[in-house]
C-alpha cells in the first residue's frame, strides 16, 4: 500500500506532503518553484535543513495524523490476507484491520513470531518517527539499516503474488528490491510459467512508465473513458472481496438478523454454539485448531479471531522446544 490509499481519509499524497512541509518553513514562491524541480528526496532534504535539527520527522507526523480511515483501507482489511506491507506512516490500515477482527503485529516495532497477522511499516510510522524515510539521507540510511525489512519484501515477491494498491512503483528502494529478485530468478521468459511477481491496481489510464515493469508486474487500470475515477478502484476491490471472503460470514453478523429465514436462524445458533465451545478452551488443542480452521472458512463472529490459539500456546510451545532440545542432546 502506498500514499494513494490514504487520500480518501484526507491524507496527503507524497507531492502534497512536500507542499505542506514547504508551508511549514514559509518558503518563497521562487524557492517553491525550484523545489518542484528537485528529486522528491532532495526536496525533502532541503526542507529538513530549513527546519530545526531533527524536526522533519515531527513535521511529517503532524501532517499524517488522522482518526479517519478510507473506504479502500476497509475494503483491503476485509480481504482474507494475513501479511501486508506499506510505505505509509499513518496508522489507518492497522485501525481498519482491527475493526475487521484481526490482531495485527506491526513490524519492526513488534515481534510477530506468535502472530499470523502482521503489517510491515517499511518507511517508518507516526509511532516510530526516528525510522521515517523521506529524504535522500533517509534512503541511504535504509540501505544500511533496513536490510532485514527489505528481505521480507523480497521473500514475499518470491513466494506470494503481491497486490500493489495506491503505490506508484517509483520508489528507489523498490527498484533495488525488484532488481535483486529478478536477478535471482531470471528474466520473465526464463521463469517457470513466465509468471509475474505482482499485480498493481491503478486509478489512472495506462502510462508509459508501466512498460518499465511489464515483465514483473501486471497493471490493472480502473480509469473509465480515459479519465481518472478513484471510485472505480473501490468498486473493483469490493468485487474482489465478494468471492474471496467467507461465503456465509453474514450469518454471524447481527446486522443481518432481520433478513434471515428460520433455517438461517437455526444455522446461526449452531455456528455460534460451536464458536463458544472453541472459546471455552475445553477441547484438546489439536482438535480445537482443526475445528477453528474449518469454521473460519464459513465465517468468524465479531470479536473473535479465526486463527486465535489458546492462551497457553506460548508456554506449550516453549515446553515442546525444551523437550526437542533434550531429545537432540540425547
- Quote the pTM value: 0.75
**42 and 152, same domain (yes or no):** no
Per-residue pLDDT reduced to its tens digit, 66-92? 989 999 999 999 888 899 999 999 999
Per-residue pLDDT reduced to its tens digit, 13-31? 888 998 999 988 888 889 8
**CATH code at position 146:** 3.40.50
For residues 89 and 96, what is the distance between their CA atoms, to the nearest angstrom? 15
Q: Which domain holds residue 44?
A: 3-64
What DSSP assignment string belongs to 18-32?
A: HHHHHHHTT--HHHH
Average pLDDT over residues 56-62: 90
Beta carbons of 85 and 51 less than 8 angstroms apart: no
Among 131-135, 171-175, 263-267, the least confident range = 171-175
Beta carbons of 114 and 313 less than 8 angstroms apart: yes
- Residues 6 or more apart whose Cβ sits within 8 Å of residue 243: none
Confidence bin at 309 (pLDDT 50/70/90): very low
**171 and 304, same domain (yes or no):** no
For residues 169 and 158, what is the distance between their CA atoms, to the nearest angstrom? 17
Confidence bin at 330 (pLDDT 50/70/90): low
**89 and 105, same domain (yes or no):** yes
**257 and 304, same domain (yes or no):** yes
**100 and 29, same domain (yes or no):** no
| Domain annotation covers residue 32 | yes
Question: Whole-number mean pLDDT of the chain?
Answer: 84
For residues 194 and 216, what is the distance between their CA atoms, to the nearest angstrom? 9
Confidence bin at 204 (pLDDT 50/70/90): confident
Judged by phi (left if over 0) then psi (alpha if -120 to 50, else beta), residue 83 lies in beta
Secondary structure class of 290 (helix, strand, coil): helix
> Which is higher by pLDDT, 285 or 310?
285
User: Which of 244, 278, 298 delimits the end of a domain?
Assistant: 244
Query: Is the pLDDT at 321 greater than 60, yes or no?
Result: no
Average pLDDT over residues 119-144: 89
Confidence bin at 120 (pLDDT 50/70/90): very high
**32 and 45, same domain (yes or no):** yes
Burial class (CB in 10 A: 0-12, 13-18, 19+), 71: middle
| Domain annotation covers residue 328 | no
**44 and 174, same domain (yes or no):** no
| Domain annotation covers residue 327 | no
Q: Burial letters for 82-93: b for 16+ Cβ neighbours within 10 Å, e otherwise?
A: ebbbbbbbbbbb
Confidence bin at 310 (pLDDT 50/70/90): very low
In Å, how far are 85, 101, 185, 257 from 309, measured between CA atoms? 24, 15, 37, 29
How are beta strands 118-121 and 83-86 bridged, if at all?
A: parallel
- Residues 6 or more apart whose Cβ sits within 8 Å of residue 221: 202, 203, 204, 205, 206
**47 and 165, same domain (yes or no):** no
Confidence bin at 42 (pLDDT 50/70/90): very high
| Domain annotation covers residue 321 | no
**236 and 261, same domain (yes or no):** no
> Could you check whether the bond before residue 290 is cis, i.e. omega within 30 degrees of 0?
no
The number of domains in the chain is 3
Burial class (CB in 10 A: 0-12, 13-18, 19+), 191: middle
**80 and 225, same domain (yes or no):** yes
* pLDDT of amino acid 281: 87
How far from chain centre, in Å, is Cα 230?
19
| Domain annotation covers residue 176 | yes
How many other CB atoms are found less than 10 A from the CB of residue 200? 21
* pLDDT of amino acid 269: 92
What DSSP assignment string belongs to 171-236?
A: -HHHHHHHHHHHHHH--GGGSGGG--SEEEEESS---GGGGGGTTTEEEEE--BTTB--HHHHHHH
Amino acid at each position: 500500500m502506498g500514499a494513494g490509499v490514504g487520500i480518501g481519509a484526507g491524507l496527503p499524497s507524497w507531492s502534497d506532503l512536500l507542499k505542506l512541509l514547504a508551508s511549514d518553513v514559509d518558503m518563497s514562491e521562487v524557492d517553491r518553484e525550484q523545489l518542484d524541480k528537485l528529486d522528491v528526496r532532495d526536496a525533502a532534504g532541503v526542507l529538513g535543513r530549513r527546519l530545526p535539527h531533527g524536526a522533519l520527522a515531527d513535521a511529517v507526523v503532524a501532517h499524517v495524523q488522522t482518526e479517519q480511515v478510507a473506504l479502500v483501507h476497509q475494503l483491503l482489511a476485509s480481504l482474507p490476507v494475513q501479511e501486508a506491507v506499506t510505505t505509509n506512516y499513518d496508522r489507518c490500515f492497522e485501525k481498519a484491520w482491527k475493526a475487521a477482527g484481526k490482531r495485527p503485529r506491526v513490524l519492526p516495532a513488534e515481534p510477530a513470531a506468535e502472530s499470523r497477522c502482521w503489517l510491515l511499516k517499511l518507511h517508518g510510522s507516526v509511532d516510530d518517527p526516528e525510522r521515517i524515510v523521506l529524504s535522500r539521507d533517509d534512503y541511504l540510511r535504509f540501505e544500511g539499516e533496513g536490510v532485514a525489512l527489505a528481505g521480507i519484501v523480497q521473500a514475499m515477491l518470491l513466494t506470494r503474488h503481491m497486490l500493489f494498491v495506491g503505490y506508484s512503483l517509483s520508489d528507489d528502494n523498490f527498484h533495488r528490491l525488484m532488481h535483486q529478485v529478478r536477478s535471482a530468478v531470471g528474466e520473465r521468459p526464463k521463469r517457470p510459467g513466465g509468471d509475474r511477481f505482482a499485480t498493481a491496481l491503478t486509478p489512472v489510464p495506462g502510462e508509459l512508465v508501466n512498460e518499465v515493469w511489464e515483465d514483473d508486474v501486471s497493471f490493472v487500470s480502473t480509469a473509465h473513458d480515459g479519465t481518472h475515477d478513484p471510485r472505480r478502484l473501490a468498486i473493483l476491490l469490493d468485487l474482489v472481496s465478494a468471492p474471496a471472503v467467507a461465503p456465509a460470514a453474514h450469518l454471524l453478523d447481527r446486522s443481518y438478523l432481520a433478513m434471515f429465514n428460520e433455517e438461517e436462524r437455526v444455522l446461526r445458533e449452531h455456528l455460534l454454539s460451536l464458536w463458544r465451545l472453541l472459546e471455552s478452551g475445553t477441547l484438546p488443542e489439536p482438535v480445537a485448531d482443526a475445528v477453528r480452521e474449518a469454521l473460519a472458512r464459513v465465517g468468524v463472529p465479531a470479536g473473535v479471531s479465526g486463527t486465535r490459539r489458546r492462551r497457553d500456546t506460548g508456554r506449550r510451545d516453549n515446553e515442546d522446544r525444551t523437550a526437542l532440545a533434550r531429545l537432540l542432546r540425547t
